Amino acid sequence: MPDFLWNLLSFVVALGLLVTVHEFGHFWVARKNGILVKRFSIGFGKTLFSWRDKQGTEFVIAAIPLGGYVRMLDGRVDPVLPQFADLAFDSKTVPQRMAVIAAGPVANFLFAIFALMLMYLIGVPSLRPVVAEVAPDSIAARAYVPNQQIIAVNGETVQDWQGVQLLLLEQIGRDSVTLTLADDIDSPGADVQLDLTGWKFDPEHDSVFGSLGIVPVQARPLLEVGQVQPNSPAAAAGLQLDDKLRVLEGVALTDWASMVKVIQNSPGKTLTLLIERGGQPMTLSVTPASQQTADGFHQGFLGVSPKVKPVDPQYIRTLQYGPLEAVWQGVQKTWQLVRLSFSMVGKLIFGDVSVKHLSGPISIAQGAGSSADLGLIAFLSFLALISVNLGVVNLLPLPILDGGHLMYLVVELIRGKPVSERAQELGFKFGALVLLTLMGIALLNDISRL
C-alpha cells in the first residue's frame, strides 16, 4: 500500500477511535444524569450510516472523519415540550453539567491509561538510559556528567530514555535540571546539576539529548553505506552498498554525524570523497542536492543511509508488569504526558516554545502511519500520546472547547446565574478565531515539512 494511503488509513482509524472515546465520555455521563442525547456523531458532513436506539439517540457515521459531536436536548437551542423538560441539558444542576462537559477529556485520559497498561502487559522493549559519552564543550560536559545510567530527573525515577526525554522537555525555559546517575538502578546515585540558562533546543534539527550534549547508548551508525536511494546524488556519484567512507574534503571522517553536517552545509557544491571498496581506496565526486527545511533554509542532501551497529544486549530490557503494576505504570505515564502537555501550552503562550513546532493533521497522519508500521506497541504509544493531547487541548479555556464551557459554568456557579448569551456569543467567536489561527499555523508547518 502506498505511504499516503497507509498514513491516511492509520490516521482515520486513530482519530475515529479517539473521537469516539471522547464523545462517549460526554454521552455516558449525560445518560447517567438523565439527559436525552439526540445525536452521537463520529465525523462531520453527509451521513454515511445511521441507526437509532430505544432511548431515541441517533448514532451517525459521517463523511468527514475529522472530529465528532454529541447533541443533547437543550432548552436554550431547541423548543422543549413540558413533559421532556427534565431531560434537557440546561435543566440540570451546574455540577451535573460540569460533569457532562468534563467527561470527554477524562475519557481521553482514561483511554491513555488503558493503552499504556496494555503496552506494559505485553512488554515494552526499551534501552537503559546509560550515557555513552558527552559532547565536548556542551551543557553536559560543563556539568561533568559521567558515563553512567540516569536513574532520576529532578528526583523522579526513570527507567528508559523516553522517560528521561519527557522530564527534560518539561525543563524548557527553566534555569537548571538535576540528573541523578549511578552504575545501575539499584546503586546509590550522585546528583549532577545542569545549567540550562544557555540551552537552545530546536526539535527540527536536534534531539533533546543532542542539544544538551548527552550521547545515549544506542544503535550506532557506521561509516559504511547501508542503502543508496535511487536517482539520488549518492547514486549519481557511484556510491554503492558496503562502501566505507574515509575522507571528505581532505578531512578524515570520525563518525556519520560529522559527514552529514558537511553534506548539509554544502548544497550544490561538488565535494571530494575518499572511500574504500573491496579493500581498495577510491575517490568520488559528490554533489549534494539542495532541499528546503521547515524554517526556510536550504541544506544539502545526498540520499545515502549508513549501516548500523546494534546495541549491546546488556543495555536492552523489556518493561513488562502484572495487571496491577501495569495499571499503575499507565497512570504514572499518563500523568507525565498530561503535565508535559499543559507545560508546553504554557511555554507556547510565554514564548519559550515557537509556534513553528506546532503539528497539524498531516504530521499526525504521518505519525499514525509510521507508528502502525512499527507494530502494536508503537501504535498504542501513539494513541496514548494523541489521546492525552486531545484531552488537554479540549480543557483549554477557549469558549468553543470543553474548557471554555467549564469556565462559563464556574462563573455561573459563583454568580448564581448563567453568563449572558451575548457574552457567550462573543466568547465563542473569539475562541473560534484563536483555534482556527492555531490550526492554520499547524497546517502551514505541516506543509513546510513535506
Q: Report which of 97, 51, 107, 46 is spatially closest to residue 76, judged by C-alpha positions.
A: 97
- Rounded Cα distance between 60 and 13, Å, is 16
Q: What is the pLDDT of residue 369?
A: 80
Same topology between domain 126-219 and domain 220-309: yes
Q: What is the DSSP string of 303-321?
A: -EEEEEEPPPGGGEEEE--
Q: Report which of 204, 201, 200 is spatially closest to residue 293, judged by C-alpha positions.
A: 204
Residue 274 β-bridge partners: 247, 283
Q: What is the pLDDT of residue 80?
A: 83
CA distances to 5, 109, 201, 387 from 363, in Å: 14, 22, 20, 15
Name every residue whose Cβ is closer than 8 Å to that of residue 255 and which is 6 or more positions away in sequence: 221, 223
What counts of helices (H) and strands (E) characterise the chain?
12, 18
Contact between 49 and 60 under an 8 Å Cβ cutoff? The reply is yes
CA 384 to mean position of chain CA atoms: 9
Q: What is the DSSP string of 39-73?
A: EEEEEEEEEEEEEE-TTSPEEEEEEEEEEEEEEE-
- Rounded Cα distance between 24 and 126, Å, is 33
- Per-residue pLDDT tens digits for 191-229: 999 999 988 887 776 788 988 999 898 888 888 999 999
* Beta strands 124-127; 131-134: pairing state: unpaired
CA distances to 23, 84, 124, 414 from 29, in Å: 10, 18, 33, 23
Assigned C-alpha cell, 326: 501495569
- Per-residue pLDDT tens digits for 358-388: 777 777 777 888 888 788 999 999 999 999 9
Q: How many CB atoms lie within 10 A of CB 17?
A: 16
- Rounded Cα distance between 117 and 381, Å, is 10
Q: What is the pLDDT of residue 2?
A: 60
Give per-10-residue mean pLDDT for the chain (450 aa): 74 89 96 94 90 92 87 87 88 95 97 97 93 90 91 92 91 92 82 90 80 88 90 90 91 85 89 92 90 69 89 90 96 94 86 74 78 87 94 92 94 89 86 85 72
Q: What is the pLDDT of residue 407?
A: 94
Secondary structure E strands in 230-297: 244-248, 251-252, 271-277, 280-286, 289-292
Contact between 142 and 156 under an 8 Å Cβ cutoff? The reply is no
Domain segments of the chain as ranges: 126-219, 220-309
Place of cell 522493549: 125
Q: What is the pLDDT of residue 21?
A: 95
Catalytic residue list: 23
- Per-residue pLDDT tens digits for 317-333: 999 999 999 999 999 99
pTM of full prediction above 0.85: no
Q: To which CATH superfamily is domain 220-309 assigned? A: PDZ domain (2.30.42.10)
Helix (H) / strand (E) containing 335:
helix 323-349
Domain made up of 126-219: CATH architecture: Roll (2.30)
Q: What is the pLDDT of residue 153?
A: 94
- Rounded Cα distance between 213 and 142, Å, is 10
Nearest 5°: the CA angle 317, 322, 324 is 125
CA 56 to mean position of chain CA atoms: 38
Considering only CA atoms, give the Rg of the chain: 26
Q: Is 69 exposed, middle or buried (0-12, 13-18, 19+ CB in 10 A)?
A: middle
- Rounded Cα distance between 285 and 324, Å, is 60
